[in-house]
Homo-oligomer: A and B are copies of this chain.
Amino acid sequence: MPANSSKGTRNERKLVNLLYEDNFGVMRAPASGGATERELPDVFAGDGTNFYAIEAKSSSEGPIYIDRNEIDCLNFFAQKFNAQSKVGVKFDIKNGDPAYGDDDNPGWYFFDPDELYVTSTGNYRVKKEKALQDGESYSEFIEP
């Protein structure tokens, strides 16, 4: 869970809307309910050729941590749908910071899970600098 959950939810909904505007079919995990939800990606998107199971994480500034279990679940789900697992990160810093994003760049950066740094406890971490340097920007992501 992001530190600020409602902000995280809003960012996630914006990502869904962006993908939809860019002609993807998009499904977002229900906020609560069924037995299977712990294993669902935040966003599932497809353009007819490429299918992505996306774990979407926001941070107000600090590094983003992702539990190994979440990635295992993401990969499990992706395998069921012949999709690619992706981790999307967004740092909500302030306007003017390239990590914040603007009209041309919504500020999301995407990684394959196996590109992420693994911590000593076996979980995953993404720092803002890593995202900016090595992540796929949104526009790169949607035109692979």
What residues of chain A have their CB less than 8 Å away from a CB belonging to chain B?
13, 16-17, 20, 24-31, 33-36, 39-40, 44, 46-48, 51, 76-77, 79-82
Contact between A33 and B25, CB atoms less than 8 A apart: no
Q: Which residues of B contact A20 (CB under 8 A)?
A: 35-36
| Interchain residue pairs with CB less than 8 A apart (12) | A13-B33, A13-B34, A20-B36, A24-B80, A25-B76, A25-B80, A27-B27, A27-B29, A28-B33, A48-B79, A81-B81, A82-B82
Q: Which residues of B contact A30 (CB under 8 A)?
A: 28-31
Q: Is the interface of A mostly helix, strand, loop or mixed?
A: mixed
| Copies of this chain held together in the complex | 2
Task: Report the bound CA distance from A44 to B43 in whole Å.
Answer: 13
Task: Report the bound CA distance from A16 to B48 in whole Å.
Answer: 24
Q: Which residues of B contact A13 (CB under 8 A)?
A: 33-34
Contact between A46 and B80, CB atoms less than 8 A apart: yes
Q: Which residues of B contact A26 (CB under 8 A)?
A: 36
Task: Report the bound CA distance from A33 to B81 in whole Å.
Answer: 24
Residues A28 and B24 in contact in the complex (CB < 8 Å), given A47-B80, A51-B81, A80-B47: no
Task: Report the bound CA distance from A13 to B20 in whole Å.
Answer: 26
A137 CB, min distance to chain B CBs, angstroms: 22
